[in-house]
Amino acid sequence: MIIVIKKGSTDEVVNHVVEKIKSAGLAVHISKGKERTIIGAIGDEGLLASIPLQAMPGVEKVMPILKPYKLVSREFRSEDSVVEVDGLKIGDKQIQIIAGPCSVENQDSLTAAAVEVKAGGASILRGGAFKPRTSPYDFQGLGEEGLKYLREAKKATGLPIISELMDPRDLDLMCDYVDILQIGARNMQNFRLLKDVGRTKKPVLLKRGLSSTIKELLMSAEYIASQGNSQIILCERGIRTYETATRNTLDLSAIPILKEETHLPIFVDPSHAAGRWDLVAPLAKAAVAVGADGLMIEVHTDPENALCDGAQSLKPTKFSILMEELRRVALAIDRTI
């Protein structure tokens, strides 16, 4: 860590900061320039986390050198991690497609959707049993009943299933039914939930929060990994910006940056980012071209009558056409779908 001291500060001020750093167990290197005195703290920066260096008298700026995440970093593990689900390899050369309805509504429509997305080439089925909704008056999901429908749809198609976990009290239940636990954007910094999930052996898809930085996303993954579960898939799903023409701004630059910073597989959810089905196809192609390891796409057999997010759901025929297009883009960058 580098600590820049304000111009004109006394030796006493510098020494006070130095003592603080030493008392935390780090070594110190002082460099007195013409303009500024600079203190280098050498050792484990985590030990300085609770020391309010920034607020100490004479301190102008505190600049960390090391990264605050370890287990999920590319530095810790240089090869790409591959998460295995029912024999499916996530994070490998093959791009995996998660598809299905926003929320589980009933057995028939779910199984129909599952059959359709499988035919189109999806390898994982999605469907929400517990739904985070902005309004208390909107449909909140079927709960365990929805999980049962998902299990039946899996039986019918062989597709592994993913569903969102919203509450720690549902964790055991969810683990009984689903193959991948999804942590939604709103829970990305629900640290207790992350720890709980970290204690299971289930693969986890962790969505980036609506206004979370890439660094914060990695810190949340670190929470899960720190408890022993390294089966983590990251997912970019759009961030909040001033632009109102789309629901969120899909941050595709995050993909190559994450590829550099972490060994974890990275997915993109173009449906939630855009909020409009007609933007899903171009954004999905861009996500493949930019290097995503997988996509999460909402598909509904009857979007106009969907109980949730119908506006952003593709019909199965449109999904099949899109899959054809995606295969061509994947081939152009030497990957497969």
Q: For residues 116-175, which are near a copy of itself according to CB under 8 A? A: 130, 132-140, 166-169
Nearer Cβ to a copy of itself (86/291): 291
Nearer Cβ to a copy of itself (7/155): 7
Token reading at 160: 């592994």
Q: Near a copy of itself by CB under 8 A, which window of 87-95, 109-117, 155-163, 187-195?
A: 187-195
Q: How many residues touch a copy of itself (CB under 8 A)?
A: 111
Token reading at 301: 């057999």
- Is 55 a binding residue for a copy of itself by CB under 8 A? The answer is yes
Residues between 5 and 44 with contacts to a copy of itself, criterion CB under 8 A: 7, 20, 29, 31, 33-36, 38, 40, 42-43
Nearer Cβ to a copy of itself (54/152): 54
- Is 228 a binding residue for a copy of itself by CB under 8 A? The answer is no
- Choice from 22, 93, 199, 240 touching a copy of itself (CB under 8 A): 240
- Choice from 13, 18, 28, 51 touching a copy of itself (CB under 8 A): 51
The CB-side HSE value for 297 (13 A sphere, CA atoms) comes to 34
- Is 333 a binding residue for a copy of itself by CB under 8 A? The answer is yes
DSSP assignments along 123-180, one per residue: -EEE-BSS---SSTTS----THHHHHHHHHHHHHH---EEEE---GGGHHHHHHH-SE
Residues between 196 and 225 with contacts to a copy of itself, criterion CB under 8 A: 210-211, 213-216, 219, 222-223
Whole-angstrom Cα distance, residue 96 to residue 179?
15
- Residues 187, 167: contact at Cβ < 8 Å? no
Residues between 293 and 312 with contacts to a copy of itself, criterion CB under 8 A: 303-304, 306-312
Q: How far is the CB of 182 from a copy of itself (least distance, A)?
A: 15
- Is 226 a binding residue for a copy of itself by CB under 8 A? The answer is yes
Nearer Cβ to a copy of itself (51/82): 51
Q: What is the CA radius of gyration of the chain?
A: 23
Cα–Cα distances in angstroms (integers) from residue 85 to residues 24, 93, 124, 286, in the given order: 43, 15, 9, 26
Q: Strands 294-298 and 96-100: what pairing? A: parallel
Residue 172: Cβ-neighbour burial (10 angstroms; 0-12, 13-18, 19+): exposed
Nearer Cβ to a copy of itself (36/89): 36
- Residues 234, 206: contact at Cβ < 8 Å? yes
How long is the chain? Answer: 337
Q: Near a copy of itself by CB under 8 A, which window of 53-61, 80-88, 121-129, 152-160?
A: 53-61
